[in-house]
Structure 1
Amino acid sequence: MIVTANVTKSYGESCVVDGVSLELPKGGITSIIGPNGAGKSTLLSIVSRLMAMDRGTVTVGGLDVTRTPSDELARRLSILRQDNHMTARLTVRDLVSFGRYPHSKGRPTLEDKDHIERAIGYLDLGALADRFLDELSGGQRQRAFVAMVLAQDTDYVLLDEPLNNLDMKHAMSMMKLLRRAANDLGKTVVLVLHDINFASWYSDHIVAMKLGKVAAQGPSAEMIRPEVLSDIYEMEIKVHEIGGQLISVYYG
């Protein structure tokens, strides 16, 4: 379980995360949604210790992220940031291999190599494994970075807008893959998403943020309701259902 207590982060007089206290369930997919500037990515960065908080506490699987040694935390939690830029000329396999560094310390074993190849296969990157990243499309590169995160083989996987650079077809494939990773590999997957439809279809739990605070949270079926979403986004949002089954979310 990921637990945050009174997590706060400010830049000057602007409070971007304002006293957030959450208990994110272990297992399954939790999506963090909300308008731009809601504090979603900042909160995810704080949870993963990429960014220091001004006050509050965060524990991941019982580990205090501010006190746990980096190598130990990296064996329990992995994160894919929104801005993934590599200046070195690397192949897909080179990149995915970085995911094993917390385990191998740069001296990969046969077990590490097995994790690397399994992650490459899981993302259907076998034909691209020896291609350089700068030779790939944006969507292919995004899949390679996700493969790196899966190769790290952590219990908790955090992804900040993993659908960036993906068209609708590849975004759907990515969400199906993350759903499979949560189900088959027992991962706890936490995503920042802008697309409410993908959040509604593939998430078990949804956290909605607004102005740095948690505006609402709960199971997807409770969150994907017009009155909840319209208040969060301050616009008319409709939910299309047939026979009680959610079909789509659209803007009125």
Structure 2
Amino acid sequence: MIEIKNVHKKYGSLVVLDDINLTIKEGAVTALIGPNGAGKSTLLGVISKLLEADQGTVLLDGEPISKVKPHNFAKAIAILKQTNQINVNLTVRELVSFGRWPHSKGNLTTFDEQKINEAIQFLRLKEVEHKNINQLSGGQKQRAYIAMIVAQDTKYVLLDEPLNNLDMRYSVDMMLILQDLVKKLNKTVMIVLHDINFAATFSDHIIAMKDGKIIKEGTPDQIMEKDVLDYVFDHEFCIAGVNGKKYFIYYQESVDDKL
């Protein structure tokens, strides 16, 4: 279990996380939504130990993460940042094998190779496993990075805007893969998303943030409410129901409305 207790984070005088209290929902896809500067990426950074909170504590199975040894932490929590490009010549398989580092320290065992093979199969990359990652399409390359995370075989997977620069087809494909991580591999996924409708469609739980605070968390049905989204994004939303789910429709003020 990951628990965030009274976490604060500032950059100079700018408060980016303001008294965050949260327990990550187990066995689910949790989407973090909110405007730019809401603190979403910073929260992932603090949970993953890439950033240190100024105050407060993050607990992993009841133990402060500051006390968890790095190799044990890397076996429990994996993060894929927005900027994950590696400027060296690597094949897909070589990239995915990096996910086994916390377990093998570079000396791959038969079990490590099995995990690498499983990750490549799971992300449907078998046909390109010996290709250079720089020869891949954007969608294939992102799947290769996710495969590296899958090979790491952690319980918790943190993803910071993994749909960036992906077209609609690959974005949907990626979200279906993340759902399968939960359903088939028993992972817990926390993901920063900018597209609210993607969060409504593919997540089990949504956390809405603004100005470094958690405004509301709950099921997609609970978060996809006009008053919640209007406040979080400072924008007037129109919410529509489709096939039992709620989605937002872009609102545009007509000329008649302005008169």
TM-score (norm 2): 0.94
Q: Where in structure 2 are the equivalents of 1:98-117 lying within 5 Å?
A: 98-117=98-117
In 1, Cα distance between the equivalents of 2:204 and 2:42?
22
The answer to which of 55-64 and 65-74 deviates more is 55-64
Query: Is the 8 Å Cα contact of residues 142 and 165 (structure 1) preserved in structure 2?
Result: no
In 2, Cα distance between the equivalents of 1:64 and 1:138?
37
Unaligned runs of 5+ in 1: none
Number of aligned positions between the proteins: 251
1:215 aligns with 2:215: yes
1:4-30 CA-to-partner distances (Å, cap 9, x unmatched) read 011111111111111111112111111
Q: Alpha-carbon deviation of 1:134?
A: 1.4
- Specify the alignment match of 1:148 in structure 2: 148
Whichever residue aligns with residue 78 of structure 1, its letter is: A
Whichever residue aligns with residue 55 of structure 1, its letter is: Q
- Specify the alignment match of 1:119 in structure 2: 119
1:249 aligns with 2:248: yes
Whichever residue aligns with residue 164 of structure 2, its letter is: N
In 2, Cα distance between the equivalents of 1:43 and 1:154?
19
In 2, Cα distance between the equivalents of 1:174 and 1:61?
28
In 2, Cα distance between the equivalents of 1:221 and 1:157?
24
Q: Where in structure 2 are the equivalents of 1:18-37 lying within 5 Å?
A: 18-37=18-37
Q: Alpha-carbon deviation of 1:247?
A: 5.4
Query: Is the 8 Å Cα contact of residues 224 and 247 (structure 2) preserved in structure 1?
Result: no
Q: Where in structure 2 are the equivalents of 1:1-252 lying within 5 Å?
A: 1-242=1-242, 245-246=244-245, 248-252=247-251
Bigger Rg, which one: 2
> For 1:100, what is the secondary structure of its paired residue?
helix
Q: Alpha-carbon deviation of 1:165?
A: 1.9
Query: Is the 8 Å Cα contact of residues 6 and 56 (structure 1) preserved in structure 2?
Result: yes
Unaligned runs of 5+ in 2: 252-259
In 2, Cα distance between the equivalents of 1:16 and 1:169?
33
Query: Is the 8 Å Cα contact of residues 27 and 189 (structure 1) preserved in structure 2?
Result: yes
Q: Alpha-carbon deviation of 1:141?
A: 1.2
In 1, Cα distance between the equivalents of 2:141 and 2:166?
10
In 2, Cα distance between the equivalents of 1:64 and 1:250?
42
1:56-87 CA-to-partner distances (Å, cap 9, x unmatched) read 10013333211100000111111111111212
In 2, Cα distance between the equivalents of 1:238 and 1:66?
44
1:58-117 CA-to-partner distances (Å, cap 9, x unmatched) read 013333211100000111111111111212211110000000011111111111111101
Whichever residue aligns with residue 45 of structure 2, its letter is: S
Q: Alpha-carbon deviation of 1:248?
A: 2.8
In 2, Cα distance between the equivalents of 1:123 and 1:208?
29
RMSD: 1.2
Which ranges of 4 or more aligned residues in structure 1 deviate by more than 4 Å?
Answer: none
> For 1:66, what is the secondary structure of its paired residue?
helix
